Amino acid sequence: MFEYDPVLFSRILTYVTLGFHVIFATLGVGVPLMIAIAEWMGIKRGDPHYTLMARRWARGFVITVAVGVVTGTAIALQLALLWPNFMQAAGHTIGLPMFMETFAFFFEAIFLGIYLYTWDRFKSKMKHFLLVIPIVIGATASAFFITSVNSFMNAPQGFNIVDGVLTDVSPLAAMFNAATPTKISHVIITCYLTAAFILGMIAAYKILRGNKHVYHKKALHMTMVSALVFAVATAAIGDLSGKYLHEYQPEKLAAAEWHFETETEAPLILGGILTEDNEVEYALEIPFALSILAGGTPDTEVIGLNEYPEDELPPLWVHYFFDAMVFIGMYLAAVSALFVLFNWQNRRNPLRKLNPFKSWMLRLIVLGGPLSMFAIQFGWIFAEVGRQPWILHSVMTTAEGATTSDHVDIMLWIFILLYAVLGVTSYLVLRKMFLHNPVEHELERRGIPYHTVE
Ligand code: HEB
Ligand code: HEB
């Protein structure tokens, strides 16, 4: 039917592994910040509801860390097995941040352990709060280091090539390359945004299902205010990522926008389909917008796909992934802004009845949860597929970096099985953890006054 091709199977296996890891890694980076904000508000307002929020989120967080570690270790294994030529060529150059990610993880894990076991052990609540800070730093540092590896793949520097061998290696120059600033900030801020929306989704779902406890309203308000801040920052940094692409990977930007002719006043293309002879049909065009995204002004010249030989171009379907990511970004910003606005109006003047807890509003927020996770996936697919055919941009192609060994197909099935087991188990554990221990019971057990309306 179709031939065994180790490169193809290596790519699929790497995608499945990274796609699965990124779900847990994103929460692993974002949730600690939300825990910290909740604990801080609990102390500042003297409100035990926020403190309980921090406690419950921290418990759920442990599960995502555990799965993150298993899948992360699977990646480390696979990198060596599936991309031996790449690892051999680039390993010394970019090994420093790869090692540092493990270090950041240990740092985080140590403090997480102490944090979890010292909830009621300190006289001063502030001391316990201080323990969450290294967790936030460690988690964010993981994203920082590993994303610098990915930046290196997109904008390699810090070495010379003599007869196909990488020499004069400078690990720091490799780590702090042209892609590093925008990639790292876009990844970190979208992890925060996604964590805020996933936690907001849970609160909105509870209220939608008829739970009247004020705990959920507080959780929803806090997550939506955070989400709004992160969504605005995401858009601002996304714009800078576009400017980075314009300068260093113009073919990726051109592929994202089906931009064939090099020209100024280039339009942004939304949706549409591409015909056989590269005509764009049924698309929505925003005049000048691509030039502005690329260089800040309409007279910025944007390089077109026609400048490149056919075999150095990424697949043009990345267009849809870029569009979907940007659309979701706008959606998340709009929904969180609407909620915050209604809530503010409602407090100032309850008679105007702009009730932020209307069921349509809650439904929009619930939908935002999965959408934000899809945007993470789409963003990575766009960034990675958009770099093809290169594994190391302009230095080594993906095919050159891959293994030639047999049996990658069997590995693929084994790992898919592993992820299915991990996915189902963590779902069941989380369900049991929270369903059998609802907020009401926990408040009662801890002797926190029970009031449903405020
Ligand atoms: Fe990751 C974990 C690797 C990507 C985030 N990781 C992990 C691990 C490993 C890895 C090995 C385990 C632990 C240790 O350290 O030992 N990764 C990796 C690789 C890659 C990655 C190789 C690619 C290339 N990550 C990633 C990303 C991110 C991350 C992209 C972000 C966004 N991780 C992370 C975290 C962690 C990990 C956060 C920890 C766990 C949890 O979950 O928390
Ligand atoms: Fe994003 C990627 C833009 C939203 C997630 N981004 C990306 C890129 C760009 C962009 C340009 C590429 C870069 C490179 O390659 O270097 N975004 C953007 C914009 C927007 C966005 C403009 C609108 C607002 N994103 C978004 C969201 C999310 C995301 C919402 C989630 C949530 N992205 C992402 C990711 C990625 C991206 C994850 C991959 C990594 C990097 O950075 O690359």
Write the residue with the smallest CA distance to atom 14 of ligand 1. Answer: 102
Distance between Cα 188 and ligand 2 center (Å): 11
Give me the pLDDT at residue 1, please: 45
Residue 287 lies inside a defined structural domain of this protein:
no
Point out the ligand nearest to the CA of residue 140: 1
Distance between Cα 62 and ligand 1 center (Å): 15
Contact at 8 Å (CB) between 262 and 246? no
Residue 295 lies inside a defined structural domain of this protein:
no
What angle is formed at CA 23 by the lines to CA 235 and CA 189, rounded to 5 degrees? Answer: 25
Q: How many residues does the chain have?
A: 454
Residue 453 lies inside a defined structural domain of this protein:
no
Which residues lie below 8 Å from residue 233, measured CB to CB, with a gap of 6+?
189
CA 131 to CA 124: how far, in whole Å? 12
Predicted confidence band at 67 (pLDDT cuts at 50, 70, 90)?
confident
Query: How buried is 421 (Cβ within 10 angstroms: 0-12 exposed, 13-18 middle, 19+ buried)?
Result: exposed
Q: Is the CB of 179 under 6 A from ligand 1?
A: no
CA 258 to CA 316: how far, in whole Å? 7
Q: What percent of the chain has pLDDT over 70?
A: 97
Residue 268 lies inside a defined structural domain of this protein:
no
Residue 10 lies inside a defined structural domain of this protein:
yes
CA 355 to CA 350: how far, in whole Å? 8
Residue 271 lies inside a defined structural domain of this protein:
no
What are the φ/ψ torsions at residue 273 (nearest 5 degrees)? Answer: -135, 155
DSSP 162: E
Q: Is the CB of 191 under 6 A from ligand 1?
A: yes
Q: Is the CB of 101 under 6 A from ligand 1?
A: yes
Lowest-pLDDT range of 23-37, 131-145, 343-357: 343-357
Contact at 8 Å (CB) between 55 and 445? no
Whole domain around residue 436: which residue ranges? Answer: 6-262+303-445
Among 140, 200, 188, 126, smallest CA distance to 362 is for 200
Does pLDDT of 80 surpass 80?
A: no
The single residue listed with the structure tokens 């929904």 is 335
Give me the pLDDT at residue 350, please: 67
Q: What is the mean pLDDT of residues 408-434?
A: 84
Tell me the pLDDT of the chain averaged across its residues.
87
Q: What is the mean pLDDT of residues 145-170?
A: 84
Contact at 8 Å (CB) between 399 and 11? no
Q: Is the CB of 76 under 6 A from ligand 1?
A: yes
Tens of pLDDT along 341-369?
988 888 887 666 778 888 899 999 999 99
Domain count, the chain: 1
Helix 214-248 with 318-348: angle, nearest 10 deg? 140
Q: Is the CB of 238 under 6 A from ligand 2?
A: yes
Q: What percent of the chain has pLDDT over 90?
A: 38
Between 333 and 259, the higher pLDDT residue: 333
Write the residue with the smallest CA distance to atom 37 of ligand 2. Answer: 379
Mutate to test the pocket of ligand 2, among 201, 241, 251, 269 (most ligand atoms within 8 A of CB): 241
Tens of pLDDT along 162-213?
776 777 788 888 889 888 999 999 999 999 999 999 999 999 999 998 888 8
Contact at 8 Å (CB) between 217 and 187? no
CA 115 to CA 46: how far, in whole Å? 20
Give me the pLDDT at residue 222, please: 95
Residue 296 lies inside a defined structural domain of this protein:
no
What angle is formed at CA 294 by the lines to CA 25 and CA 255, rounded to 5 degrees? Answer: 70
Distance between Cα 230 and ligand 2 center (Å): 13
Give me the pLDDT at residue 287, please: 85
Residue 38 lies inside a defined structural domain of this protein:
yes
Helices (H), 296-358: 318-348
Does pLDDT of 410 surpass 90?
A: no
Contact at 8 Å (CB) between 265 and 288? yes
CA end-to-end distance (rounded Å), the chain: 65
Tens of pLDDT along 212-221?
888 899 999 9
Q: Of all atoms in ligand 1, which is nearest to the CA of residue 150?
A: 24
CA 394 to CA 308: how far, in whole Å? 12
Does pLDDT of 311 surpass 60?
A: yes
